[in-house]
Structure 1
Amino acid sequence: MAQDPIPGWPRSAEHAPRVLRVAELNRVARFVMEDQFRDVWVEGELADVSRPASGHVYFTLCDAEMPAQVRGVMYRNDATRARARLENGARVRLRCGLTIYEARGTFQLVARVALPAGEGDRAAEVARLKQKLASEGLFDPTRKRKLPRVPRVVGIVTSRDGAAIHDVVRVASARMGVRLVLAHCQVQGPDAPLSIVRALRGIQQVPELDVVIVARGGGAAEDLSAYDDERVARAVAACRVPTVSGVGHEVDVTIVDLVADVRAATPSNAAEIVVPDAVQLRAELEGLERALARALDQRVQRERLRIERLLRRIHDPRRRIAAPRQALAALHASLERSIARRLGDAHRAIDRLRARLAVHEPRARLSRDRDRLIALEDRLVRAMRARLDDTRRQIVDHDRRVRALGPAMVRTPRERLARLVGTLDALSPLGILARGYAIALHQPTGAALVRARDAAPGDRVSIRVHEGTIETVVERVRDEEGS
C-alpha cells in the first residue's frame, strides 16, 4: 500500500477527487511548513509588541524596505534570555521556526533567539580582525613601549565636546602642570574611524610630543565600534610615541585597547597613568637629592683618606729601588747554586739507573728464565712418570687381592641367607595354606574366626585358601559337641 506523500493528507477511493475539510488543510499546511522551515534566521522591525500575564511575547515583524509583515511569538523561557530589546521599533534578528496556527489558519514565527540587528555580523567581524592583527604581532607584549617618566607634552585624541577631554584635563591639571595638546576627532558614527586616524597623524606633527592618549567616554557597544576599526588599530600601532588607550569603561575592551602600549580603564585613569603626581614626584626628588648628597660626602671622605695614605707611602724612588735590587741579586745567586746542585743530583741518579738497567737487561733475563723453565719442566715430567708407575702397581696389587678374597667373602652371607629363607617359608601362613588349610575371616570387620560360636547364621564369611578367597554365608553353626 502506498504511503501518503504528506502526513495527515486524506486518502480517497480510486479515481475519486480529494475533498478536504478546512482543519485538514490547515494541518497539512502546518506539517509542510514545520518540516521545511525548522530553523531559519529572519531580520526585521518589531511592531504591536504585547506581553500578557503568561510572560510570552507576541509581536509583528515588519520588513524595513517593503510592505510585508508576519506575526510571531516568543515563549517566556526564551524571552527572558533574549539579548535584543523586545519593544516596538527595535530592529532584531530572530532565530525561529515557521508554523501555522490551525485554529485561524494564520502563518506565524516561533522565535527562540533574539539578537539586535547586525550584532552577530559585527561580533564576527571584530573576532576575525582580532585574529588577523594578533597573527601580525600587534598584540604581542614584547612590542609594548614604556611610557616616559615625566612627559613634557601629552597629546589627546578625542572629541572636544565630549566628557573625556574634561576628565583628562581635570586629572592632569590636578597632578602636574604639563602641556596638553588636543587633536579633535569624531568618536562615534560612520565617519569616526577616518576622523580618529587623521587626528592621530596630525598630533604626531608636534615635535615635543612624548605620549598620546586615545580617549572616549563610555557608551553602548555600537557607540564604541569606531575603536574596533582596523584603520584606527593600525594607526595607533604605527604611532611614533607610546600610546595609552582610555576608551569606554573598565568592562569595555576594544581592539585599540589591545594594540595600545598601555590600556587604561577610563579616560581619567589614562591621565593618572600618563601624568605623574607632582607632590609624590617632588618627594621622590627630594629623597634622591638627600641620598645623592650623602653618597657624595661619603665618596669625598673615602678619596681624601686614600690620598693621605698614598702621600705617606711616597718616598725617594731610588731608595725604593735599592732594596729590591739587592734582593734580586741575592735571589739570582741562590738560583744559580740551586740549579747546579739539581743538575749534579740528576746526573748521579741517571748513572745509578743505567747500572740497574744493565743488571735487569730484558734479553739476559729472558734467557735465564727460559733455562729455568726447561729444568722445571723436566723435573715435572719425571715426577709425574714416577707417580703414575706407583699408582699402576697399587692398582694391580688391589685387583689381585680382590680376586683372591672375593669368593670367600660372598659364600658365607649367601649360605646364611638360604637358611633364613627356609625358616621363613616354614613359618609363613601361605605355606600352611598350601598344605590344605584355610583361614575364615568374619565380614565386614575382617577379623579371623577362631571358634565356631563366633559366627551366627546369616553372617558373611570370607575363606582364604592357597590360591584365592571364597565368599560364603553361614547357614548353621555347629561346635565340637555337635550342637
Structure 2
Amino acid sequence: MTRPYITVSALTKYIQRKFQADPYLKSVVVKGEVSNVNYHTSGTLYVTLKDDDASIRVIMFQRDVKRLAFEIENGMSVYIEGFVDVYERFGAYQLYAQSITPDGVGALHVAYEQLVQKLKAEGLFDPSHKRTLPAYPQVIGVVTSRTGAVIRDIVTTVHRRYPLAQVVLFEATVQGERAAPSIVQAIERAERANVDVLIVGRGGGSIEDLWAFNEEVVARALFHCSIPTISAVGHETDTTIADFVADLRAPTPTAAAEMSVPSSVELLDRVKQLERALTYAQRSKIERLRAQIERFTQSVVLTDPLRMHRPHQERLNEMTDRLMRTMRERTDEKRRQLVDETSRLQLVHPRHKVELATRRLQSVTEQMTWIVQTSIGQKKREAGHLVRLLSTLNPLHVIERGFTLPYKGENVITSVEQVDQGDELVLAMKDGKMRATVTSVEKEGNES
C-alpha cells in the first residue's frame, strides 16, 4: 500500500499561499541590523536583516532602490517596510522591501552625511580649489527660479551697490525631482555666456525643498565650473553641499549680491583718499624742489661769481711777475756778457779780432733779441688770453647792459650794511657817473 505524500513543490506552494493569504504579512515594518549588503548588477539590492535571535533575507528591486535617498551600508539599523513571501526555488521565506528608512535619523540626513564624506575624500571641499572673485565684475550670472524673490533681491542689491554691473538670469527649477538636472544645465549655460561671477541659490525652505542643492550632480557641476561661484541657498542657518563646493558661501541671496560686486560708495571714498594722497605727495615734492632752488640761489656761484675767478687773477699776476723777472734776468745776463766781450776786445786790439768780436757780438745780440722777442710774444699771447678772460668777468660789462655799480669812496658797495642814511654814493654807468644821497636803508625783512 502506497503511503500518501505531497511533492516539495506542492508543499512550497501551499506554504506560499498561506503567506499570501495572511493580511498581516502583506504589509509589515521590520526593524533590524543590516548585513551582507549586495548591490546586484541588475540594480536589485540583497541584504540580511537580523537581530540578536534571528535573521531574514531581504530583497529590494531596482524600481524601489532608485527611490532610496541614501546608500545602504553594513551595520546600519533600519526600518524596512514591505511584504513577506516564499521564494519557491529555495523554499525560504523572504522580506520584499518597498522602502527603507534609517533608525534614529532621517533618510535624507544619512544621504547628506554620506555624500559629504564622499566628496570631502575626493577633495571637492579643499580650500586650494577655491577661486577669488573678480574685483570689478561686469556681468553677474544668477541660477535660480524666475518667479522667486531671489532674483529680484539680487538685481536690486547689485544695481544699488554697483550700477555698472549687469545681472543675467539663467532660469532653473530649484525644487523637486527635476531640480538637480535643471540647475546643472543652467550652470553650463552660464559658462558658455562668459559671465564674471555666478550666484547659485534659492530662498529658504525645508530640507526636502533644498535637497536639489545636496545632489551630487549639482556639487560636481559647481566644482568643475570655470566661473567663480557663490552659493546662496536658503537662510543663514541652512547649509547644503553646494555651500561646501562653491568658491564662496553667502548666508542669503542678498548677501551673495553684496559679495559679488564692490560698493560704489566705498570706491568713491577710496578715489577721494587716493586723490588726497596724490595731492599731498605733489605738494611735498614742490616744497622740496622749492627748497632746493633756494639753496642754489644762495650758493657762492650765483651770489659772488667773481669769487670763482679771483684765483685765476692771482695766477695771472704771478705769471706776469715771473715773466718780467725772467726777462730782466736774461737781459742783464746778456748785458754782462756784452760788457765782458767788449772788455776783451779792448784788450785784444788787432782789427780782425775786433771784426771777429764785432760779428760775434752782432750774432749774440740778434740771438738774444730773437729769444727775447719770441719769449715776449708768447707771454703777451698768454697775457692777452688771460686779459680777455678777465674782460668777460669785468663788472663794467655788466654796467654796459644797463646796470649801475655803486661806490662809497673807492669801495664798491655790495651790501646795505656798508652804507648809512645820508651817505653820498657814486653810481657808475656805462656813459658816466652820477652822485646820489642815501635817504633810507632797507634790509631784507627790516626797514630803517
| Range of TM-score over shorter length | 0.3 to 0.5
TM-score normalized by structure 2? Answer: 0.42
User: Rg: which structure is higher?
Assistant: 1
TM-score normalized by structure 1? Answer: 0.39
